[in-house]
Amino acid sequence: MEKEMTLPMFGRYPRIDRMELSTVLKRVDASRESMVSFLSRIISIPAIGPVSGGTGEMEKAETLMSILEEFGFEDIRRHDAEDIRVPSGKRPNIELFLKGESSEKRFVVITHMDVVPPGDLSQWTGDPFKARIENGRMIGRGVEDNGQAMTASIFALKAIMDEGLTPEYDVSLFIVSDEEESNEKGIGHLLEEGLIRKSDLILVPDHGDPEGRVIETVEKTLLWLKISVKGKQCHASMPHLGRNAFRASMAFGTRVDKALHERFDLKDPSFDHPFSSFEPTKKEPGVSGINILPGEDAFHLDCRLLPDHSVEEVLRVMRGAASEVESEMNVSISVHPVLTETTLHPTPSDAGIVRLLMKAVEKVTGSTPVTGGIGGGTCAALLRNHGFEAAVWETIHNRAHSVDEYIEIDNMIKDCKVMAVMCFESID
């Protein structure tokens, strides 16, 4: 005789009994191969934004729409944003809606379909856009960021629908574009259209830890900078006739790195990385010949600032270092902010979405979650700065943007169960 599924007790389910919930969770377990197949198909379609040289998310969105219709979902909505930079002229945003017993509140899950480029293909052990299964893991670009969460949320809703049950509240799954580049054509567009409400219980499953215990309620300020150095180009055999911008760039980078880390040395253990970070990342192409002394050079910094550190003070430190190098090496240096997302309003640890998520995680896993902060950035930061309360949570190994990005398939199943439970739990 099959043993009855047991669940840790914490509160009570408002509409369904334990046996009904048990059938939902069993259906999730039975969907394992379907979930793997779905995610494998989705990641085979690159959805790279125009800033990174891609054509956008339209092909992936159309495939998703077709699959969702095949699954039997009846209320599938599109909220596209205009964008002349992509061939379709649009950046698609999908909403999957399921009616609940109450419309007083709405449980909202926001995932994204766009991915970052794979980078150096020679470093991958296989095709980044062809999923591989090895030792319980799925490997491929976008499986963690953000395919696992997208799959888990869709199949949680599918399990509920297939069981003929009705969630406690209305449920909207938003699958958005442009998360990796600016959020302007994705969650930013949804906000402009008034599609997110202050009463919504918003989950952004786009960061977490391997145990699924950390609920992120605050992010560091995100600051992307471009540093441009101008000198004078000449033949490399006659350096006295020029001013080497590359050398000046290296000198500035070394000096400003030291200055920033000395000035901003505050430690906050509530964050996954407890310090502010200042990382040189993207390097602009330089001269094409070895025998050319470069007259221009440019590189980028990715800065993640603790809440007590300000963008203005970072820029002051950098411009001070730039002035010193300009004077010493007879070059000009500009520091240009490319993107700034300032942390203004953390989500309170007793917010409705946090309480709802804590109950569901404890029911499914038996562990008690904790709240904390991350370097960011997810679209939750944008939501919080517009006055919305959002929680970020997922069970992942933080392989996003890396070579051989992977997920543990068991984690995807567990996260799917947590989201299914959230659809029936009351925050009272």
What secondary structure does DSSP assign to 153-208, as a single string?
HHHHHHHHHHTT---SEEEEEEEES-TTTTSTTTHHHHHHTT-S-TT-EEEE-S--
Q: Nearest Cα to 402, choosing from 117, 51, 206, 44?
A: 117
Phi/psi at 239 (5° precision): -60, -20
Q: Are 292 and 233 in contact (CB under 8 A)?
A: yes
For the chain, percent helix, then strand, then coil, each to nearest 5? 35, 25, 40
| Catalytic one of 83, 179, 389, 408 | 179
| Catalytic one of 114, 145, 209, 297 | 114
Return d(Cα 173, Cα 187) in angstroms, integer: 12
What secondary structure does DSSP assign to 354-374, as a single string?
HHHHHHHHHHHHSPPPEEEEE
Whether 324 sits among the annotated catalytic residues: the reply is: no
Token pair for residue 58? 């339209």
Q: Nearest Cα to 160, choosing from 348, 372, 152?
A: 152
Q: Nearest Cα to 91, choosing from 124, 127, 50?
A: 50
**Scanning the structure block, which residue is given the tokens 């080497």?**
244
Peptide bond preceding 377: is omega within 30 degrees of 0, i.e. cis? Answer: yes
Q: Nearest Cα to 375, choosing from 214, 255, 174, 147?
A: 214
**Scanning the structure block, which residue is given the tokens 């590359």?**
246
Whether 114 sits among the annotated catalytic residues: the reply is: yes
Return d(Cα 29, Cα 8) in angstroms, integer: 18
Return d(Cα 18, Cα 344) in angstroms, integer: 40
Return d(Cα 137, Cα 427) in angstroms, integer: 34
Q: Nearest Cα to 282, choosing from 221, 223, 226, 220?
A: 226
Return d(Cα 79, Cα 172) in angstroms, integer: 13
Question: Kind and range of the H or E element at 321?
Answer: helix 311-329
Task: Tell how far CA 232 is from the center of its chain.
Answer: 41
Return d(Cα 163, Cα 427) in angstroms, integer: 23
Catalogue the active-site residues: 114, 179
